[in-house]
Amino acid sequence: EYEIVLPGVSGTALQKNVSVGSPTKVELTCKLDENSNLKNPQVTWKRGSETISHTSKTQNSWTIQLTISDSSQLGSYSCILKGEVEVSATFHLQVPQIEGKERPIITYEGDLAVMVCKTEYAPMAWTWYMTNGTELVAINPSSHTNKFRIKRQSADVNRLEILKLTKEDIGVYWCEAAFRLGSSKRRFELRVLSIMAPLKPFIAVVAEVVILVTTIGLYEVYSKKKGEGEREFDQIEQL
């Protein structure tokens, strides 16, 4: 059910990620673009150094069928087309990854911190860890009801809430999604700032606004007085 179309010219290697959570049958197809110059290439499917035989082939496509039953069968499978030029494409079979970029979470003392993990397919179990030195300690919300809350928003979205933040909560947290064929993790860096941190630029900008408004006001009063003075002078002249 997964396909890559090769253009037939050598360039950057084409890749595709295939998420496999539980044992299943997977079909990988390499298809040659109709407009390519490569004709009747010799096709080999490889995984590392091991060659795999085709399951089926048509005019321009070559397919292998794999039965994934345990984690040792995950990895990178490539099809290599040899002709005048050699082109290849790779399928990366892996456990579903947790979505999201690595970015620090910035919160404030007394506030609430929220970390959300989402996967493509629902895992068997979700676990959250906090780091104690170099160790990963699983978070058990029932033993710290006032501090941690774990909410299951849906089967594939899980959420950790840390309440009443203090500076001691700063550190690295992990969420782990466990699948039959393995697990994937995501890292969160929590930063807790004091209220003073944004207050400094805030006061600076407010001060700038006040200074500017006052300056503009004073300038206007000054130029009005000057204008009135000139007008009186003109009127006196007319007399």
Partner 1 sequence: PAPAAAGRAPGPPDGGWGWVVVFGAFVSIGFAYAFPKGLAIFFKEIQDFFGTSYSEIAWVSSIMLATTYGAGPISSILVNRYGSRPVVMFGGLLCGVGMISAAFCTSILQLYICVGFITGFGLALNLQPSVIIIGKYFLKRRPIANGLAMAGSPVMLCTLAPLNQFLFDNFGWRGSFLILGAILLNCCVAGALFRPIGAGTALVKTQVAEEGKDALKGKISEDGKEMSSALNVPMENKTEEEEGKDCFEKINQYLDFSLFKHRGFLIYLIGNVLMFLGFFAPIVFLAPYAKHTGIDEYSAAFLLSILAIVDMVARPTTGIIANSKWVRPRIQYFFSFAIAFNGTCHLLCPLASSYTGLIVYSSFFGLAFGMVCAMLFETLMDLVGAARFTSAVGLVTIAECCTILLGPPIGGILIDTFGDYKYMFIKCGAVMVLAGTFLFIMNYYNYRMLAKEEKERKTKEEDPKSVRTENEGRKNWNKDSTQDGPELEPLREEGEGVKKEMNGT
Residues engaged in binding partner 1 (CB under 8 A): 103-108, 111-112, 114, 116, 151, 153, 159, 193, 197-199, 201-203, 205-206, 208-209, 212-213, 216-217, 220, 227, 231, 234, 238
Nearer to partner 1, 74 or 105 (CB): 105
Provide, rounded to whole angstroms, the least separation between the CB of residue 49 and partner 1: 32
Nearer to partner 1, 209 or 239 (CB): 209
DSSP tag of 98: B
Nearer to partner 1, 11 or 104 (CB): 104
* 193 C-beta neighbours (distance < 10 Å), count: 15
Distance of CA 122 to the CA centre of its chain: 18
Pairing of strands 171-179, 182-193: antiparallel
Provide, rounded to whole angstroms, the least separation between the CB of residue 77 and partner 1: 23
Provide, rounded to whole angstroms, the least separation between the CB of residue 102 and partner 1: 13
- 100 three-class SS: coil
Provide, rounded to whole angstroms, the least separation between the CB of residue 112 and partner 1: 8
Per-residue tokens: 94:
């892996």
Exposed, middle or buried by CB within 10 Å (0-12, 13-18, 19+), for 51? Answer: exposed
Provide, rounded to whole angstroms, the least separation between the CB of residue 132 and partner 1: 24
Nearer to partner 1, 25 or 224 (CB): 224
Pairing of strands 61-68, 113-118: unpaired
Nearer to partner 1, 14 or 74 (CB): 14
Nearest to 126 by CA among 110, 108, 150, 162: 150
- 213 three-class SS: helix
